Structure formats: C-alpha cells, structure tokens
Homo-oligomer: A and B are copies of this chain.
Amino acid sequence: MTEFILSQSGPSTDRLSDSQPLYRQLADQYRRAIGNGVLRPGDRMPSMRAFMQRHHVSLATATESYRVLERAALIDARPRAGYFVRVPPAAALPAASEPDLAMLGAAQFVGIHSAISTIVSKFQRYPDALNLGGATASPDLYPTDALQKAALRALRRQPTLLTAAGHAQGDPALRAIIARRALDAGIQISADDIIMTHGGIEAVNLALRAVTQPGDTVAVESPCFFGLLQALESLGLRALEIPTSPSTGIAIEALAFALQTHPDIKAVVVVPNLQNPLGSVMPDAHKASLVELCARAGIALIEDDPYRELADAAQPPRSLKAWDTDGTVIHCTSFNKTLAPGMRVGWINGGRWHPRIGMLKFAQSRHNEQLSQVVLAGFLETSAYERHLRRLRDGLRLQRERMAAAVAASFPEGTRFTPPRGGMFFWIELPRDVSSAALFDAALDDGIRIMPGTVFSNAGRFDHFIRLSCPSTDLNRADEAVRRLGRLAQRLAAHAPRR
C-alpha cells in the first residue's frame, strides 16, 4: 500500500530546476511530500533501485538525496528493510515527567485485584471493542503458519507427545537450545540451570515464593505491571513502589535509600528491558549498579524479562543476569510476547534459589506439557525465529511511529509522552486533571479498550496516565481509533476542573 502511494502521488522528476544540485532538489521534493502528508510517518521510501529508475539518476545521487533526508531526521534507515518516513515523537510531544525521587511512600499490602476485575468485566460487556489495552502484538505479527506446521511435524514424528509424561524440568532439547540462546542476553548457563514454567508469570510467582514469606516487603517499579501487583496481592506481600524513569528505568538512588530504610525488603522485581508500561530500557551502567546493590544487600533481584528481544536495536540489550556473579539474580522470561501468546512456555533460572524453585515448581504444577516445548524446540533450531523477530520488530516499530503521530496530532495540550525503546506499549501522561478512569469508561462506550493508569500502582500514583498498545497491522484503523480517543480526552480536558 505504501508503495502504491509513492508511485501514484509521490514526487517525480517533472519539475526539476538547475538552481541547486540534483540530489538536493530531489531531497526537497520528498521533504515537501512528507510535510504535506503525501508521505506519512512510517511509510516505506522507495528502494535505491526504484529511486534511481523513477528519477533517472545515478546511485551516487540517490544515496546523497537519502543522506540529506536522513540528516534532516525525516527518514530512517532500518537494517535489511530499507528507508522509512520518520516521526520524531520527542519533538511532537514533550517527554513524560521524570519521577520525583523523594516520592518513596510506605510499603503496603496490595489490593489491586478488585479494580482489575472491574475492568475485565467491563471489557466483557464490549466484546467487539478495538483492543488498545492488550499486552501482546497484533495476531498477524506472530508466525501462525510456521508454528502450525512445526506442530503438525512434531505430532507426526512423536505420536506419544500427548500421552507420555514429560521431563520434570522441561524438555531437555529445548532447554539446551535456550541455554545456547541465553548467551545473546549475556547469560552463561547450562540446560540444567533452566526450569520450564507455565509462562513468565508462573516463573515470577515461583521466584517470589522462593524468597519471601507472607507479610514481607517487595520493592517494585512504579508504575508497575499490574500482573505483578496481583501476584504480590495473592501471596500476601507488601509492595514498596520505587520511582522509575520513563527513559532509564528504576531509580537506583531511590532503591538504595529504600533498602536502607526498609530492612524488611526481601526482593526487588524489575523489568529492565522495555519496562511494562514505560517501554524504558535500563542503561548498562544502571544494570550493573542494580545487581551490585542487591548483591551487597543480600536480597534477591527478580528479573522479569519477556520483552528483551523486542527492543529497537541492532543488538538486543543485555539482561541483568549478565552482571550477576553470585546468584543474586533470578531470571524469568517467556516466549509469550515474542513468539506465541497461545503457548504458555516460560522459563526460570533461579540463581542461588534454583533448587528451592525446582521444588516449588514440582509441588505446584509438575512439568509443562511436552507438545508445545517440542514445537518450540523445532522452531528455534532453524533461522525462522530470527526472521520472525526481525519482522515483528519492524511491524511494531511502524505501528509505534504511526501511533505516536496520531497521539501527537489528537491528544489535548499538556499530554506528555516518552517514546518507548521498542515493544508494544505506549505510556501516555494526560493533563493532570484528566481522569484515566473517566477516559476508560468513555472510550469503552465508543468501542475502544484502553488500560487506565489506576491499575499500575497500588498507591494511586498514575490516575492521569493510560497505557495503549498497538492493536492491529491495519494502521489506518488504529490511527482512527487513537484520534477518536484523543477527541474524548480533549473533551474531558475541557470539562476538567481547573486548578
């Protein structure tokens, strides 16, 4: 579709003059096309070859034109995919507020579940609403056909997959592959150090059960993934919310202070790569400091790391576990977000609590099903997973850029937003007087699901934030929904009590 737009209404060589170099004249034409919306954020630029043919120019001229547009921050090169029209979102909206480091409250028992239940039951009343509130990528970005084929192959090769019980820790072949792949995250482990779990959430639960007793305090990021708050609630734990930056993740100084003042903290839970909901990635230096801080304090650092491979970078960021020297870090992750939301395949490396975690996993739910593990092993053995990840990251990047442009164009003045470093989440700070709960209700009435900020804190900190996610590869449909949402927010902002 983007190619169609380019051929039909993109710039041509018809109106070229000779007052400046050819490459610059061509670049100016594309600049105008981007400026007047003929080319839209996220649209694919013509390939070099297509550009040369269309404008009857040499490779040198084409390359120079693209360089001019790139320097002007109008287009972006993406490895293996070509050039795309850029949205510079930081310019479009002011960055989200940095947290107040003195914001440290008291540790509290968590009571978030009833709020989440209310949201879920409201969702159920609008089954056809467009889902901007989900936590997975749009279904067509996952490799349905390839996984189906892998499953059919696995079943034909091993007919007893459904009837024979599997290995207690998980399929040995899959664990061996995972251990090899973990090197990319900076983690040196063997297959024996891995226990397969029912998704990443079971891994995080097991980690919490291994290192805490009911009544203990756990330090968490703020805002915090509500699933973690539910896990804390269900285990009778207290949460201490640590200020967390939308760009660099958990504030190390604030955590250090918390550890000094709250000796009952038994664990810290962090999503270091593409934090949910912030989309932040901790810089390496912060990761090193965090691991060292927890090691020195002698407490467990539970790393929830399901989004790492969705980060926008030539090389995905490393896991906290890469800096772990004494088993302080319990590393939890899954393939739910990166490969297959329908397969509940996660895994855990328990650091120095590994044997206890193995016991808890066995006592709680035994081994995982064999079938999905064997399918996954077959898929990971080929290059299909890497190809899929590139496609998924490109698809998500395009969706994010279009969504950022739509938010910037339609949300009320005073909205702030720090672009995420990858993944599928958008954490949007509304003007302070706009209630996310009110926007949630209004949006649902208008056929759109969003996640209100109210469920990302046990301490009521984010009531004027919302989390959006990319719902569909139909970019125009998403655009339209975000614009409608923006109008609803405008209306709420206009009627909000002024302070």
Contact = CB atoms under 8 A, between A and B. Distances in A.
A200 to B, nearest CB: 9
Interface in A309-347: 340-344
Contacts of A166: 342
A493 to B, nearest CB: 34
B365 A205 contact: yes
A13 interface: no
A366 B198 contact: yes
A97 to B, nearest CB: 30
B136 A162 contact: no
A369 B342 CA distance: 6
A161 interface: yes
Nearest to A161: B342
A370 B341 CA distance: 10
Contacts of A261: none
A364 B344 CA distance: 12
A120 B355 CA distance: 14
B139 A363 contact: no
A430 interface: no
Nearest to A228: B363
Contact of A344 (B145, B234, B365): B365
A213 B214 CA distance: 9
A164 interface: yes
Contacts of A17: none
Interface string A197-225: 01101100100010001100000000000
Interface residues of A, number: 57
Interface centre among A142, A230, A362, A375 (most CB of B within 10 A): A362
Nearest to A227: B363
Question: Which of A139, A163, A359, A369 has the most chain B CB within a 10 Å cutoff?
Answer: A163
Nearest to A232: B363
B144 A165 contact: no
Q: Is the interface of A mostly helix, strand, loop or mixed?
A: helix
A291 interface: no
A163 B364 contact: no
Given A142-B163, A161-B342, A165-B341, A234 B155 contact: no
Interface stretch (A146-154, A268-276, A442-450, A475-483): A146-154
Contact of A369 (B160, B205, B343, B367): B343
Interface in A166-215: 166, 168, 198-199, 201-202, 205, 209, 213-214
A232 to B, nearest CB: 9
Given A151-B155, A165-B341, A342-B371, 19 more contacts: A144-B160, A147-B162, A148-B161, A151-B162, A162-B342, A163-B343, A164-B342, A198-B368, A209-B234, A213-B214, A214-B214, A230-B359, A230-B363, A234-B364, A342-B369, A344-B365, A344-B369, A364-B364, A371-B371
Interface of A: 113, 117, 120, 136, 139, 142-145, 147-148, 151-152, 155-156, 159-166, 168, 198-199, 201-202, 205, 209, 213-214, 227, 230-231, 233-234, 236, 340-344, 359-360, 362-372, 375
Top 5 nearest A-B pairs by Cβ distance?
A234-B363, A142-B163, A165-B341, A198-B365, A230-B363
10 contacts: A117-B359, A136-B165, A139-B164, A144-B162, A148-B161, A155-B155, A162-B372, A201-B365, A344-B368, A369-B372
